[in-house]
């Protein structure tokens, strides 16, 4: 945990010298599909959709819905998040996932938007998420549309 937090802080400080490049009012739609295979048990399949809007040039606020299936069980989670963009690609964020059953989960994330080919509004979004309550680190890539 301490190593992840140190890396997170170093990246945040190193990238904080730049300013956000997205304008207020820009809308973001993010979709992610993941298959996770634990060392024991059934694989977990997850589909997540996010919708957010920039309220300032570097702060994105939004909501999320996720569906996950594992074996015969399925779960639906709703959540809220806020991301702070240091420049036109790097960001840090915090979110809260609220499951249909059980306790909520706080999430810290760090990511970087990378333009997809020659498009001006489609981005690949590689990132790292740290689930604070369950102490799980997840890395993934999603596709983001900005308009």
pLDDT tens across 98-109, in order? Answer: 988 888 999 999
pTM: 0.76
Position 18 scores a pLDDT of 37
pLDDT digits (tens, 9 = 90+) for 51-67: 999 998 889 999 999 99
Q: How far is CA 118 from the centre of its chain?
A: 23
In angstroms, the Cα distances linking 49 to 3, 23, 34, 109 are: 29, 22, 12, 16
H or E stretch at 36: strand 27-36
Q: Write out the H or E segment, with its range, that includes residue 34.
A: strand 27-36
């Amino acid at each position: 945990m301490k190593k992840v937090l140190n890396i997170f802080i170093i990246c945040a400080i190193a990238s904080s010298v730049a300013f956000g490049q997205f304008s207020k009012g820009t809308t973001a739609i993010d979709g992610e599909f993941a298959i996770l295979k634990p060392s024991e048990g059934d694989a977990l399949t997850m589909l997540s959709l996010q919708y957010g809007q920039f309220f300032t040039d570097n702060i994105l606020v939004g909501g999320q819905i996720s569906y996950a299936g594992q074996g015969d069980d399925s779960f639906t989670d709703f959540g809220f998040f806020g991301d702070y963009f240091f420049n036109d690609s790097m960001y840090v964020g915090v979110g809260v996932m609220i499951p249909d059953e059980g306790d909520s989960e706080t999430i810290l994330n760090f990511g970087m938007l990378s333009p997809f080919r020659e498009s001006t509004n489609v981005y690949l979004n590689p990132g790292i998420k740290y689930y604070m309550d369950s102490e799980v680190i997840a890395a993934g890539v999603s596709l983001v549309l900005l308009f």
